[in-house]
Amino acid sequence: MKIYLTRHGQTEWNRADRVQGIMDSPLTQEGIEMAELLRESSKNIKFDKVYSSDLKRAEDTAKIVAPDNEIISTPYLREIDVGNWSGRYFNTLKEEDRELYTTYFNEPHKYKREDGESLYEVMDRVKKFFEGYILNSKDKNVLIVSHGVTIVAILNYVEKIDISDFWENRVLRNATFNIIEYSDGEFKVLKKAPKNPVATI
């Protein structure tokens, strides 16, 4: 099996440098065009299944990339819930909530909050997704459309990276393929998208 893993196209809040989490903002025109380019680059790939986060920005991207496929939406693939960080601007958040922000990026295994998820909970969701949809599948080509932090969690899951090193796989660029091979119970990362130049959630 080959797994084509991509982050959704650019959104209004990505462009404004605002935290999204499980709140949504629409794709920008550039984000739509990103997804259209991805569709063009994968036009010769027959996707047996297309899985998406149940958040609209991911679903909209999946519909553009794979217009002829049924989109299977699941909350297992949604972005990390960052509680009251959602909707706030990165440049003010790091000052207004410096301690938690620093913990999130520098000591990810210690990050937790009452109004959202820990990174352990995101990793658990990813594991459940793979156990439920991928590990026993006979599909040859699968498309997964998800989010920045969730894709980091997926790459960490397949590469068996400890949560204390969570950010070893940085958040990757919008609408660009990562390619993972799954065969005989083993994962191999064939390609990683370029890293995103700025922090994003």
Query: Annotated binding site for substrate, which residues?
Result: 7-14, 57
Detail the residues annotated as belonging to a binding site.
7-14, 57
Angstrom distance (rounded) from CA 170 to CA 29: 25
How many CB atoms are closer than 10 A to CB 33?
A: 15
Angstrom distance (rounded) from CA 35 to CA 33: 5
Helices (H), 42-112: 56-65, 90-96, 98-106
Number of residues that make up the chain: 201
Helices (H) and strands (E) in the chain, counts: 7, 6
Angstrom distance (rounded) from CA 100 to CA 59: 30
CB burial of residue 75 (10 Å; 0-12, 13-18, 19+): exposed
